[in-house]
A = this chain, B = another copy of it.
Amino acid sequence: MTTSTALLFADLTGVAVFAASGASAAVAKRLDLFGVVFVGVVAALGGGIFRDLVIDEVPPLAFADWRYAAAAAVTAAAVFRLHPQLARLRTTVLVLDAAGLGLFTVTGTLKALDAHVPAVGACLIGMITAIGGGLGRDLLTGEIPVVLRREIYAVAALAGSIVVALLSTYGLARAAPLTAAATFVFLLRLISLRRRWSAPVATLRPPRTGTRGPQG
């Protein structure tokens, strides 16, 4: 398997995984088949479309290569059919989502570096590629965006993209180290979910008296 085949395979796996996460969220919102497929496709392709726009690869791969849209739509439709089984496998979905985060972080950062974006910008683009689909999914379904929840999500992607940029700087952007970087993001996300790691929250002053309601 050549490098570019490996990258394509990683990218399409990420697409399928995010399509499944988007479709699951849409089924939970009682959307119909078309709505489920639509949210799945947005979650799967949204981050990559943004990435390709900012690195001037137009038309974006999601439109230039039919396999992207096909992988997203077929996966989302399959989730629509199979959702009762998937519901029992909630943990599996979280695991797959973390895998997608790792895959897209690596492919997004690499593509930005290949397009001669400076390192800091490439890390940002890699992170946005990885988190963009989930953001679109949550905005469409009216949920609090996962990147804003008190979890390690965007930060796992950003940490992974920094690793990729460092590997690239030292000429180590080869299969094994990149796979390790994707695995690092994957494990960081999973362990933080498991251990409920989170960042600090700003302390607001308590109200002076105890008479205020919960919205006070």
Q: Which residues of A contact B (CB under 8 A)?
A: 26-27, 29-36, 38-39, 49, 53-56, 58-60, 62-66, 69-70, 80, 83-84, 112, 115, 117-122, 124-125, 139-142, 144-145, 147-150, 152, 154-155, 198-202, 204-205
Q: Which residue of B lies closest to A153 (CB)?
A: B34
| Given A55-B59, A83-B202; A155-B124 close (CB under 8 Å) | no
Among A29, A33, A59, A139, the most chain B Cβ lie within 10 Å of the Cβ of: A59
A64 CA / B120 CA spacing, docked (Å): 8
Q: Which residue of B lies closest to A158 (CB)?
A: B34
Q: How many copies does the complex hold?
A: 3
Question: CB distance A202 to B35 under 8 Å?
Answer: no
Contacting A64 at CB < 8 Å: which of B36, B121, B150, B198? B121
Question: CB distance B30 to A148 under 8 Å?
Answer: no
> Min CB distance, A22 to chain B, in Å?
12
Residues of chain B within 8 A (CB-CB) of A142 are 144
In the A-B complex, list the 8 residue pairs whose CB atoms are closest, starting with the nearest: A63-B121, A66-B120, A33-B199, A32-B199, A56-B58, A35-B148, A32-B150, A34-B199
Q: Which residue of B lies closest to A205 (CB)?
A: B84
A204 CA / B36 CA spacing, docked (Å): 14
| Given A54-B53, A121-B59; A148-B201 close (CB under 8 Å) | no
Residues of chain B within 8 A (CB-CB) of A112 are 59, 63
A201 CA / B29 CA spacing, docked (Å): 10
Q: Which residue of B lies closest to A55 (CB)?
A: B59
Question: CB distance B59 to A63 under 8 Å?
Answer: no
Contacting A32 at CB < 8 Å: which of B32, B65, B119, B201? B201
